[in-house]
Amino acid sequence: MNLNQPVTYIKGVSVARAELLYSELGIRTCRDLLHLFPFRYVDKTQFYTINQLQQNSSEVQIVGKITGIKTVKQKRGSRLVATFADATGTIELVWFKGVKWIQDSLKVNTPYVVYGKLNWFNGKASMPHPEMETVSAYKSKLQMAMQPVYPSTEKLSNKGITNKVMRTMIQNLLQQVYGSIEETFPKYFIDEYQFFGKKEALLNIHFPKSQELLAKAQYRLKFEELFFIQIQLLLKKLIRKSKIKGYVFEKVGEEFTNFYENYLPFELTNAQKRVLKEIRKDVSTGAHMNRLLQGDVGSGKTIVALLTMLLAIDNGYQATIMAPTEILATQHYNGMVELLKGTNVTVNLLTGSTKTKKRREIHQNLEDGTLHILVGTHALLEDKVQFKNLGIAIIDEQHRFGVAQRSKMWQKNELPPHILVMTATPIPRTLAMSVYGDLDISVIDELPPGRKEIKTVHRYDSNRLAVFKFLKDEIEKGRQVYVVYPLIQESEAMDYKDLMDGYESISREFPSPKYQISIVHGQMKPADKDYEMERFANGETQIMVATTVIEVGVNVPNASVMVIESSERFGLSQLHQLRGRVGRGAEQSYCILLSSYKLSSDGKTRLQTMVETTDGFKIAEVDLKLRGPGNIMGTQQSGVLNLKIADVVKDSPILHQARQIAIKTLNEDPNLSKPEHELFLKTYTQLQKKTGIWSNIS
Ligand code: ADP
Ligand code: MG
């Protein structure tokens, strides 16, 4: 029998059941059903008598007989109640759904094995929707130590496709198709890594005879799933590198050397040097660079960007850097003007508020090539902006830009400019491998020397007065303070009220004229926001009350205290980003996380993590564990959410191994053209045809 045949070929699967399997679980073929994996197994080696049942016994198996059945009218419909007895006592079996169908199938005074979870009420036990089968059916079956529990839906169980029915279907299926299950791993591979064969793995994933066999089956199937994802990602990268041509920056020239030797205000950290080398290697090959540069806030990405742009200029190309907000773009621009003073490099700024006359001048200079570096916002993506020869585009704070916008920049030249995406949101290694596995990734994992670690504490709302006192002391010393309120989209009105209440109470506590307060929030006009930001940046105000609009990139080195109100409502990465606003100057900086006493266990973990570490990668790992990959940026398009059995977080050791072995395999055989890799190639080709999701990751 062929695995591509519809499930109706399986004994016991009617057309009606097949339709249900398709509409509820997307299962059409025998192969689909074979790959519906149990999400849990129950151990049914143990039997209980009714007088042994404990209030705490969760799922139990009992042998007995039904002594009576009745239906009890309820507000809506009715429920079915059966009295179930063994020699030691009675319990009630209860059904709320499928009453009619079940009532017809129950036999009184026939020995049954029932299994399920107990509900206790007034010292009496009942078992809602038990699994049951007659003792004779139970005995006639091949007995397994462990039983699989399959994913299901309400509709499936209502229509009689219970877990037991599912199990029987899959058992029948396995009997019918076992011989036609095809191996996907070459023999040498199975031998070398001691994998289960595909058949054994599938048999034991459904009907394991022991924990050990189950573990082996799971390992083989998880490995296989992750391995083929890695093969796809790595091949995609190989293809990109060999097919998509990029400009060659072959030499380190005058501008780079001049700047490096005479104007670089500090020694680069080793991490910065290493990343620059990685970039230089990329842009010298003739292939197109598509590199992600990760580095915590303050790790010094900007200087790496600048040096990279100088490299482009030395080779006769222009460069651009795009930031997500006007404030950030302006900051980059001012910083670069300052750094490039005394060099021959020209730099200009283009944002939404650039005046028409200036804009024309910039367009002109871009087209005739006299402008080397253009800094800007989204305004850069406008059609009128034409470069003479754009060699590299650098995108800062990547999460603010969509993929579509990134690729739009490509269309401006003959060849696509090299792309360097910089982000301060660390991507955990597991995700980097599974989601961005086709990108090149550089990491700045070292802060410039002399930084003081930000001291972070968690305080309850009732400590507020002490916190205010601390703020006054810091302001007295000439420092500035942020006070941030959460902004959660669903309840914007309420958030706004919280912010305004907070602003008022802070105004009362910090009266003018002694204290000056800025306020910035999402409902303000951009010009007003900028005005307030500027007052704070210039030191005219000591306190900045804000929602999370200040999250990205803003640099006020004299601000040394970050107070986060209702911090339990923020996500970890957001807390980390916010904290990064302080600790930018020479002074000791502080982050104070205020919360109510009512904390969820996740909330507690988040705050504790913040207090314990400032390492962005550690924080990202915790975040991933708490939220799961589905909520982390970028995963939606990647397919890691469609995994059938592996979990990129829980199975990260297997993921690492799969990646290493995939790399080794492709190093030895980049086209999978060796005869022993025929099976790999076949699976890869099938996956490429089927999903297509891999084409739009970057
Ligand atoms: P980010 O990675 O957050 O963009 P920046 O590039 O803004 O960080 O750098 C943060 C600060 O650290 C800047 O003031 C920058 O001048 C400084 N800096 C960067 N690299 C070094 C270094 N190697 N030594 C000393 N200071 C550095
Ligand atoms: Mg930056």
Closest by CA to 255, choosing from 372, 370, 345, is: 345
Report the C-alpha gap between 528 and 520 in whole angstroms: 8
* Alpha carbon of 305 to ligand 2 centroid (Å): 10
The answer for residues whose C-beta is within 8 angstroms of residue 138's C-beta and 6 or more apart is 113
Tokens of 97: 């759904």
pLDDT mean across residues, the chain: 87
Identify the burial level of 374 via C-beta atoms within 10 angstroms of its C-beta, where 0-12 means exposed, 13-18 middle and 19 or more buried.
Answer: buried
Report the C-alpha gap between 177 and 9 in whole angstroms: 10
pLDDT for position 432: 79
CA 696 to chain centre: 17
CATH class of 47-140: mainly beta
Which amino acid type is present at position 526?
P
pLDDT for position 407: 53
Listed by start position, the domains of the chain span 1-44+143-181, 47-140, 254-283+300-423, 455-613
The answer for residues whose C-beta is within 8 angstroms of residue 488's C-beta and 6 or more apart is 495, 569
pLDDT for position 17: 94
Beta strands, E only, 211-326:
290-295, 318-322
Reported as a single tens digit per residue, the pLDDT across 583-613 is: 888 889 999 999 999 899 899 999 999 999 9
Q: Count CA atoms closer than 13 A to 414's CA, side-chain side.
A: 6
Per CATH, 47-140 and 254-283+300-423 having the same topology is answered no
Closest by CA to 195, choosing from 679, 642, 687, 690, is: 679
Whether the Cβ atoms of residue 247 and residue 311 lie closer than 8 Å to each other = no
CA 303 to chain centre: 28
286: left (phi over 0), alpha (psi -120 to 50) or beta: left
Per-residue pLDDT for 490 more than 70? no
Whether the Cβ atoms of residue 456 and residue 606 lie closer than 8 Å to each other = no
- Give the pLDDT mean for 169-198: 94
Helices (H), 85-126: 99-105
Question: Which one of 302, 425, 589 would you pick to mutate in the ligand 1 pocket, going by the greatest count of ligand atoms within 8 A of its CB?
Answer: 302
* Alpha carbon of 325 to ligand 2 centroid (Å): 12
> What is the rounded (10 degree) CA torsion for 139, 144, 145, 147?
-110
pLDDT for position 694: 39
Per-residue pLDDT for 451 more than 60? yes
- Give the pLDDT mean for 630-646: 65
pLDDT for position 506: 93
Pairing state of beta strands 111-117 and 131-134?
Answer: antiparallel
**Of residues 635 and 472, which shows the higher confidence score?**
472
* Alpha carbon of 532 to ligand 2 centroid (Å): 21
Residue 635 — very low, low, confident or very high, per pLDDT cuts 50/70/90? low
- Give the pLDDT mean for 468-482: 96
- Give the pLDDT mean for 148-154: 90
* Alpha carbon of 595 to ligand 1 centroid (Å): 32
- Give the pLDDT mean for 215-224: 94
Per-residue pLDDT for 404 more than 50? no
Determine which helix (DSSP H) or strand (DSSP E) holds 274, and give its type and residue range: helix 270-283
- 355 to 195, 197, 388, 527: CA distances (angstroms): 66, 68, 22, 14
- By residue count, the chain amounts to 698
Closest ligand 1 atom to residue 267 Cα is 23
* Alpha carbon of 596 to ligand 2 centroid (Å): 33
Q: Whose CA is nearest to atom 9 of ligand 1?
A: 300
Q: Whose CA is nearest to atom 16 of ligand 1?
A: 300
**Ligand lying closest to the C-alpha of residue 577:** 1
Q: Whose CA is nearest to atom 26 of ligand 1?
A: 448
Rounded percentage of the chain residues whose pLDDT exceeds 70? 91
Per-residue pLDDT for 114 more than 70? yes
Q: Whose CA is nearest to atom 4 of ligand 1?
A: 301
Lowest mean pLDDT among 194-198, 329-333, 427-431: 427-431
State the distance between the two ends of the chain, measured CA to CA, in whole angstroms.
41
pLDDT for position 130: 94
Reported as a single tens digit per residue, the pLDDT across 510-546 is: 998 999 999 988 778 878 888 888 899 899 999 999 8
Q: Whose CA is nearest to atom 20 of ligand 1?
A: 300
> What is the rounded (10 degree) CA torsion for 305, 697, 434, 195?
-140
Per-residue pLDDT for 639 more than 70? no
Report the C-alpha gap between 317 and 553 in whole angstroms: 27
Which CATH superfamily is 254-283+300-423 part of? P-loop containing nucleotide triphosphate hydrolases (3.40.50.300)
Tokens of 21: 């399997």
Q: Is the pTM of this model over 0.85?
A: no
* Alpha carbon of 520 to ligand 2 centroid (Å): 21
Report the C-alpha gap between 141 and 239 in whole angstroms: 52
* Alpha carbon of 333 to ligand 2 centroid (Å): 12
Report the C-alpha gap between 106 and 95 in whole angstroms: 12
Residue 453 — very low, low, confident or very high, per pLDDT cuts 50/70/90? confident
Which residues lie with the beta carbon below 6 Å from any ligand 1 atom? 266, 268-269, 272, 295, 297-303, 424, 448
Per-residue pLDDT for 618 more than 90? no
Whether the Cβ atoms of residue 442 and residue 292 lie closer than 8 Å to each other = yes
- Helices vs strands, H then E, count in the chain: 24, 22
Per-residue pLDDT for 628 more than 90? no
Closest ligand 1 atom to residue 272 Cα is 23
Determine which helix (DSSP H) or strand (DSSP E) holds 329, and give its type and residue range: helix 326-340
pLDDT for position 584: 81
Whether the Cβ atoms of residue 212 and residue 52 lie closer than 8 Å to each other = no
Q: Whose CA is nearest to atom 27 of ligand 1?
A: 448
Tokens of 132: 């049951």
- Choose from 114-128, 479-493, 495-509, 595-609 the range with maximum mean pLDDT: 595-609
pLDDT for position 218: 93
Determine which helix (DSSP H) or strand (DSSP E) holds 139, and give its type and residue range: helix 135-140
Residue 695 — very low, low, confident or very high, per pLDDT cuts 50/70/90? very low
Residue 39 — very low, low, confident or very high, per pLDDT cuts 50/70/90? confident
Whether the Cβ atoms of residue 412 and residue 386 lie closer than 8 Å to each other = yes
CA 212 to chain centre: 31
Whether the Cβ atoms of residue 266 and residue 470 lie closer than 8 Å to each other = no
* Alpha carbon of 300 to ligand 2 centroid (Å): 7
* Alpha carbon of 394 to ligand 2 centroid (Å): 12
Reported as a single tens digit per residue, the pLDDT across 365-399 is: 999 999 999 999 988 887 788 899 999 999 987 65
Report the C-alpha gap between 30 and 13 in whole angstroms: 11
pLDDT for position 143: 61
Tokens of 200: 């054994």
The answer for residues whose C-beta is within 8 angstroms of residue 554's C-beta and 6 or more apart is 327, 328, 331, 533, 537, 581
CATH class of 455-613: alpha beta
Identify the burial level of 564 via C-beta atoms within 10 angstroms of its C-beta, where 0-12 means exposed, 13-18 middle and 19 or more buried.
Answer: buried
* Alpha carbon of 322 to ligand 2 centroid (Å): 11
pLDDT for position 403: 44
Q: Whose CA is nearest to atom 23 of ligand 1?
A: 268
**Ligand lying closest to the C-alpha of residue 443:** 1
**Of residues 77 and 375, which shows the higher confidence score?**
375
Closest ligand 1 atom to residue 580 Cα is 3
Specify the 3-state DSSP secondary structure of 126.
strand
Tokens of 623: 């975040």
CB atoms within 10 A of CB 543: 25
pLDDT for position 698: 31
Q: Whose CA is nearest to atom 19 of ligand 1?
A: 300
Per-residue pLDDT for 693 more than 70? no
- Give the pLDDT mean for 224-232: 93
Rounded percentage of the chain residues whose pLDDT exceeds 90? 56
